[in-house]
Amino acid sequence: MSLLSVRDLAVEFRTAKGPVRAVDGLSFSLEEGRTLGIVGESGSGKSAASLAIMGLLGGARVSGSIELAGTQVVGADRERVRALRGRKVAMIFQDPLSSLHPHYSVGEQIAEARRLHFGASRRAARGEAVRLLADVGIPDPGERAGDHPHRFSGGMRQRVMIAMALACEPDLLIADEPTTALDVTVQAQILELIARIQRERGLAVLMITHDLGVVARVADDVLVMYAGRAVERAPADALFAVPLHPYTRGLLGSLPRLTGPPGELAPIAGAPPSPLSPPAGCPFHPRCAERVEVCGTTRPVLLGTSHQAACHLLTTAKGTTG
Ligand code: SF4
């Protein structure tokens, strides 16, 4: 059984200008010990999907099914979701300061999580906090446990956040753009840390990112999102070897080369569609250099088995899926 099974997930926000469908019919599953990279530009729906999995979208209309460790998240009462969030799933964000309390030392905060979730004594929880800080590579963890979050650099703060996430011994770690604010060297170190703890603890990891380069480093499987939908889904090796969707090819083509400038993806020509008025047909067609007539009128569906893509070109291509 999958640790996480998402079926036909839709997330709709009500705005002054009308309803906005941020996620539309998303389905995927994640097995224990695997890393799934969800990739897309800003506004693709990837973060809305991850917040729905965490049960953190109070103001939105969420439908479909999110089954986490056998428990249904959609429609569950707050207490049930909170318990699940504490023990089964933890999340780290781009900005650790948004999740760490500025007035308590990092050791106190990690120890508090241990005490809350496992009923550890004060002394045991403090020892476990120091051990977790050591495990994520904080030098002098005994000393540093007494420091407040603002005394750590960006990379060290993200390590603290990972220690905090591990304090609850989750089965699933959701990492939403965890390295976007960091320089390239520190980014590589944090990705290596996430990959190590994933291996050692057998965690499932959902890596949410705009950067296929991040996915290439850590993911077993990849799901590419555009305008709230999955447009390509495949094992990472297959996707990087033969990307089937023009949007994925655009993302790959704009990855920085080793000799080129590091960091953000160069944008694909044009902009993602407004979620208030998505185009008819394939939502990528206004930006797609390969579009054909049917693209402007008929929405393509995901085709294939282990390697899937939603593009009309695949219905005429031979032997490209499966
Ligand atoms: Fe491009 Fe058409 Fe494929 Fe959409 S369906 S990605 S517009 S070729």
CA distance 219 to 34: 8
- DSSP letter (8 states) at residue 259: T
Which residues, listed in sequence order, are joined to residue 38 by a DSSP beta bridge? Answer: 208, 223
- Asked if residue 29 lies in contact with residue 40, where contact means CB atoms within 8 angstroms, the answer is no
147 CA from centroid of ligand 1 (Å): 52
**Which pLDDT does position 257 carry in this prediction?**
53
> Is the distance from the beta carbon of residue 284 to the nearest atom of ligand 1 less than 6 Å?
yes
pLDDT above 50: residue 127: yes
Q: What is the residue-averaged pLDDT of the chain? A: 90
pLDDT above 70: residue 297: yes
- pLDDT-derived band at 319, boundaries 50, 70, 90: very low
Strands of the sheet containing 4-15, edge to edge, are 18-30, 4-15, 61-68, 71-72
- pLDDT-derived band at 266, boundaries 50, 70, 90: low
pLDDT above 50: residue 263: no
45 CA from centroid of ligand 1 (Å): 19
Q: Tell me the per-residue pLDDT of 49-102, one tens digit each, with 9 for 90 and over.
A: 999 998 888 789 999 999 998 899 998 888 888 888 778 899 998 888 878 899
Sort strands 35-39 and 229-235 into parallel, antiparallel or unpaired: unpaired
For residue 294, give the ligand 1 atom closest to its CA: 2
For residue 282, give the ligand 1 atom closest to its CA: 4
> Is the distance from the beta carbon of residue 300 to the nearest atom of ligand 1 less than 6 Å?
yes
- pLDDT-derived band at 277, boundaries 50, 70, 90: confident
Q: What's the average model confidence in pLDDT over 128-139?
A: 97
Q: What's the average model confidence in pLDDT over 105-113?
A: 95
280 is written with which tokens? 């008819």
> Is the distance from the beta carbon of residue 314 to the nearest atom of ligand 1 less than 6 Å?
no
> Is the distance from the beta carbon of residue 85 to the nearest atom of ligand 1 less than 6 Å?
no
For the structural domain made of 2-88+170-247, what CATH number should be given?
A: 3.40.50.300
Pick the range with the lowest mean pLDDT from 4-8, 170-174, 198-202, 268-272: 268-272
> Is the distance from the beta carbon of residue 297 to the nearest atom of ligand 1 less than 6 Å?
no
Q: Tell me the per-residue pLDDT of 233-257, one tens digit each, with 9 for 90 and over.
A: 999 999 999 999 999 999 988 776 5
- DSSP letter (8 states) at residue 175: E
> Is the distance from the beta carbon of residue 97 to the nearest atom of ligand 1 less than 6 Å?
no
Q: Where are the domains of the chain?
A: 2-88+170-247
> Is the distance from the beta carbon of residue 291 to the nearest atom of ligand 1 less than 6 Å?
yes
The model's pTM is 0.91
**Which pLDDT does position 43 carry in this prediction?**
87
- pLDDT-derived band at 265, boundaries 50, 70, 90: very low
